[in-house]
Chains A and B, each alone.
Chain A
Amino acid sequence: MSEALLASEASGTGPAQHAPALLAASGARRFWRRLRTQRAALVAGGVVALLVLVALAAPLLTALEGQDPTTYHPSLVDSARGGVPIGPLGGISGEHWLGVEPQTGRDLFARLVHGARVSLGVALAATVVQVAIGVLVGVAAGLGNRWLDQVLSRITDIIIAMPLMIMALALLAVVPDDFPRPVLVALVIGFVAWGGIAKIARAQTLTLKQLDHVAAARLSGWGTWRVARRELLPGLAAPVLTYAALMVPNNIAIEAALSFLGVGVRPPTPSWGEMLTSANVWYAAAPQYLLLPAAALFVTVLALTVLGDGVRTALDPRAASRLRVGTGRRREKRAAKASPAGGEAATATRTGDGSGSPREDDAVRETGTGDGSGSPREDDAVREIRTDDGPREPRELRKPGKGDAE
């Protein structure tokens, strides 16, 4: 998704071409270069890619195992002992790779990989809904007249003030049961948590409105819609993407929490949160029944968070200077190790004078500063795109709401 949006930034035509900030013919490439310098983000990206692959290939994987997530196997649990799986380690065997669920005997591996589908699918869909509503409301508030701006901003504030989990819980109560549950959960999460994106989109729109290329587009008689789509959206990509990337793990946690409470995705549809509902009863007899979904959740949320942080650093030119505080010595040491011309290059990195010879650029990349300070031109270009959100302003400091999930 990120590449596509950034690519749309690159292919901007019309008045946008006159703005050097948005020319960014190499937007996606630069983003990738800045992301690549962060080793943690790369590892996290690999994990996320693997998870997506598992989720997509879930039917294939379970077919390979020869099981499916909903078939009961009463013969595999000991009903005399309350449904404890028969066999060592919770019933692990060649047929059931990770054992079976207590009581029902459903295959754990199948439920786990199908759970990845639900988890990632719901979280992504919710994020798309959040971005769509948030950008729409934010841009409308930023472009509209004072009256519209006031109304929309008030509504946004109210949405932010409402406790997300509570609203989601309550909303799930009124929708009829025959509505497809995963879709419903995605919609509910999307509809109660777009406030942050709307705020960022509005702030960014107000900034972009001042720029010459937007003014030029408006003066040349373009309609509001066209201005928004062609001139504003490319400039919105970076901050909105940053926020959205951090929303995904948050949405995963919310879905898991709702399902854990029994009001989200309902059985027999497998979901990690739902699997944990009764896990604490069985931990002694079948520890993996607790550990597997818990570990899956942990790894997924962690990988997505680290990746989101990486995306932010890659898109935020100021992150560079903030990250550099007091870490000079370590980087110097690593730079010395990484490149034969270590001493010289590392000095350039630390002082950030950006004299930008190709060799120094390489050294910077290898030392993993991820700030791309090697080229001042590039920094300026990015800075012009992204000049929103004063970090000193308290409300902007608000996290996407990891805690909202809990």
Chain B
Amino acid sequence: MTGFTGFALRRALGALVTLLAISAIIYVIFYATPGNVAQITCGPRCSPAQVHQVAEQLRLDDPLFLRYWHFLQGIVVGQDYSTGTSVEHCSAPCLGLSYRSDQQVTQLILSKLPVSLSLVAGAMVLWLLLGVGTGVLSAWRRGRFTERALTGITLAGMATPVFVIGLVLMIVVCGQWELLPFPQYVAFSEDPEQWAWNLLLPWLTLALGEAAFFARMTRAAVLETLAEDHIRTFRAYGVGERAIVARHALRGALAPVIALNANDFGAAVGGAVLTETLFGLPGIGQELVHAVDVVDLPVVVGMVLVIGFFVVLANAVADVLYAVADRRVVLS
């Protein structure tokens, strides 16, 4: 077990280092751009006095690495900002101050996070069920009509951009058939039933393309396992084809699928941005697009960091899960 704990610890440390590196890269990209950083940060409509104040807050006279150090310090212990007349305290995980909305970035992100998490978590359940199910089914019915039909459908699913799926779903389901109202986010704590009904379409939108991808990968993994020796032994014992595929081959295929799910998480987050924008869900993605649009740098940096945090976390968790599923990994 020590080997496993050590592996998990090493993996956690690696995730932390990756996160640090990401934050450094992002910070340098955004705050070492040529041009007047204070002007860009503050926005085109800022008066010279405001620009001067922003420059002071960002400590633009300090060397870059010192500023970055300060930024990290803010995340760990918090920071004080003077807003001209008063001093505003930005507590522990402080990601800075938005100069567009005069809001603390951390507060802004916290207020948007539940929406995005609801969307991604629900969609993930859906795409795993749909994708793995379809993949196993088409591996079981290989060479038959079912498989060819499913292969065609999954290919089409992979080739359709998320926002096209969303647009079509929205127009057909909400517009033509009027089965569902146009989605409007309702908090889970407010009304769980309405929460689910309103998120149904966004979930489907985000999940369909991912499910198609997982179906392909699951099918490939199951087929690969089916070619292994122990499956031949099961066959020789007279185990039925359905039991072989559903029980034994799927078990072998599950580990790579788990790993894949995490690696793919970052991609799904990108899809979530599109889904949120399309359906007008007030989540992180929509806010990020808005921040990019109005060039609100502190918000952009903070959001990218938070999203990066979740992606790195998902990767680390998946690596550990993968090791649980397949102990050979720890040894290597």
B192 within 8 Å of A by Cβ?
no
Q: Is B322 an interface residue (CB 8 A)?
A: yes
Q: Out of B35, B156, B164, B223, which one reaches A294, CB within 8 Å?
A: B164
Please encode chain B, from 78 to 102, with 1 for each CB lying within 8 Å of some chain A CB and 0 for all others. 0000000000000000000000000
Contact assessment for A297 and B171 in the assembled complex, using a CB-CB cutoff below 8 Å: no
Q: Report A137 CB to chain B, min CB distance, Å.
A: 15
Per-residue 0/1 for B165-191: is the Cβ within 8 Å of any A Cβ (1 yes, 0 no)? 001101100010000000000000000
| 8 Å CB contact of B159 from A174, A249, A257 | A249
- Who on chain A is nearest to B311 by CB? A163
Min CB–CB distance B229 → chain A (angstroms)? 15
Docked-complex contact B304 and A257, CB < 8 angstroms: no
B119 contacts the other chain (CB 8 A) = no
Residues A305 and B142 in contact, CB atoms below 8 Å apart: no
Count A/B pairs, Cβ under 8 Å: 191
Whether, in the assembled complex, A42 has its beta carbon less than 8 Å from a beta carbon of chain B, the answer is no
Q: Which of A166, A283, A301 has the most CB of B within 10 A?
A: A166
Size bin of chain B's contact surface? 35 or more
A157 nearest in chain B by CB position: B18
Query: What is the CA–CA distance of A172 and B288 in the complex, to the nearest angstrom?
Result: 12
In A357-387, the 8 Å CB interface with B consists of none
Q: Nearest chain A CB to B121's CB is how many angstroms away? A: 16
Chain B residues closer than 8 Å to A397, beta-carbon distance? 217, 256, 259-260, 263
User: In the complex, A362→B63 CA distance in Å?
Assistant: 70
The distance in angstroms between the C-alpha atoms of A105 and B288, with both chains bound, is 32
Most buried by A among B159, B175, B291: B159
Output the nearest chain B residue to A177 by Cβ-Cβ distance: B295
Interface centre among B22, B25, B270 (most CB of A within 10 A): B270
Q: Is B209 an interface residue (CB 8 A)?
A: yes
A262 to B164 Cα, complex, angstroms: 15
Min CB–CB distance A167 → chain B (angstroms): 7
Report the separation of the CA atoms of residues A321 and B175 in the bound assembly, to the nearest whole angstrom.
47
Q: Which residues of A140-181 have CB atoms within 8 Å of chain B's CB atoms?
A: 154, 157-158, 160-167, 169-174, 176
Alpha-carbon distance A165/B268, docked complex (angstroms): 10
Any chain A CB within 8 A of the CB of B266? yes
Q: Is A302's CB within 8 Å of the partner chain B?
A: yes
Determine the main DSSP class of B at the interface with A. Answer: helix
Contact of A406 among B167, B267, B293, B308 (CB under 8 A): B267
Out of A276, A298, A328, A406, which one reaches B271, CB within 8 Å?
A: A406
Instruction: Identify whether the interface residues of A are mostly helix, strand, loop, or mixed.
Output: helix
CB pair A325 B227 closer than 8 Å: yes
Chain A residues positioned under 8 Å from B264 (CB to CB): 398-399, 403
Contact B164 A166 (CB under 8 A): no
A330 within 8 A of B: yes
- Bound complex: CA of A294 vs CA of B160, how far in Å? 9
B315 sits at the interface (CB 8 A): yes
- Complex: how many Å from CA A257 to CA B217? 24
Chain B residues with CB under 8 Å of A170's CB are: 26, 29-30, 288, 292, 300-301, 304
- Least CB distance from B239 to A in Å reads 16
- Asked if B273 and A301 sit within 8 Å, CB to CB, the answer is no
Q: Name the residue on A nearest B171 (C-beta).
A: A283
The answer on a CB contact under 8 Å between A158 and B143 is no
Determine how close the nearest CB of chain B comes to the CB of A160; give it in whole angstroms: 8
Contact of A290 among B167, B206, B303 (CB under 8 A): B167
Contacts of B142 in A (CB 8 A): 325-327
Q: C-beta contact mask, A247-288 vs B, less than 8 Å → 1, else 0? A: 001000100110011110000000001001001100110000
Instruction: State which of A54-62, A96-104, A201-209, A388-396 sits at the interface with chain B.
Output: A388-396
Smallest CB separation, B159 vs chain A (Å): 4
Contacts of B274 in A (CB 8 A): 165, 257, 260-261, 406
Enumerate chain A residues within 8 angstroms of B226, measured Cβ to Cβ.
325
Q: Cβ of B110 < 8 Å from any Cβ of A?
A: no
- Is the Cβ of B260 less than 8 Å from the Cβ of A403? no
A172 touches B263 (CB 8 A): no
Contact at A395–B21, with CB atoms within 8 Å?
no
> Given contacts A162-B311, A326-B142, could you give 10 more A-B pairs where the C-beta distance is less than 8 Å?
A163-B267, A171-B29, A279-B167, A283-B175, A298-B164, A395-B263, A397-B217, A398-B260, A404-B266, A404-B267
**What would be 12 A-B contacts, judged by CB atoms less than 8 Å apart?**
A162-B22, A162-B308, A163-B269, A164-B267, A170-B304, A298-B156, A298-B160, A298-B164, A325-B142, A394-B255, A397-B260, A406-B268
Return the 4 tightest CB-CB contacts between A and B, nearest first: A165-B270, A403-B267, A394-B259, A406-B162
